[in-house]
Amino acid sequence: MKTLQKVSDAVNKTVSYVGMVIFIVLIVAAVAQVFFRFVLNHSLSWTEELARFMFIWMHLLGASLLIQGRGHATVTVILDMLHSGVKKAVEILIELIIFFDGTVMLYSGSVLAWSSRANRSTALSVPMWVINSAVAVGGLLLMFQAFTAIALLCSNTEVKEDKPVL
């Protein structure tokens, strides 16, 4: 279990660093767009598209980071009232649903990326499969983190809540 946890931590750290770079690019693109549009009175054609693509990737990568720290928004009123055995079963069921969601995202994202392989974005001329593959990559990361959470729950290993990634 420790090996799986270490791999999960390494994946999360890598995703966090990639997410930070994506976030910085997103902010620079948005600030450049505002500066050029309102200060120089000359709008850039590519910054909005770049910011949108960075937002998509950041969102889909970041979703997997919240699984390990149990950071997704939840209402736990009923879950908190359950006994430990039933509570554990419900938590495993929740992780199985997340795993299934990741599977659907992986499949659908792969189909989407494959079907858009010949298309290019309007302003940046980036192949759209690169952008659309964010759904598949996000789904794969969700599946991995949900699998890790299920393994930790089944092995009675303490699940670390709100653990900082970096």
pLDDT in tens, 7-58: 989 999 999 999 999 999 999 999 999 999 999 999 898 999 999 999 999 9
Per-residue tokens: 75? 């209402």
Tell me the C-alpha distance between 113 and 126, whole Å.
Answer: 13
Q: Tell the residue number behind the tokens 């938590």, with chain if given.
A: 91
Tell me the C-alpha distance between 28 and 21, whole Å.
Answer: 11
Q: Of the given ranges (68-72, 134-138, 146-150), which has the lowest mean pLDDT?
A: 68-72
Indicate if the pLDDT at residue 66 is higher than 80: yes
The model carries a pTM of 0.84
157: Cα separation from own chain's centroid? 24
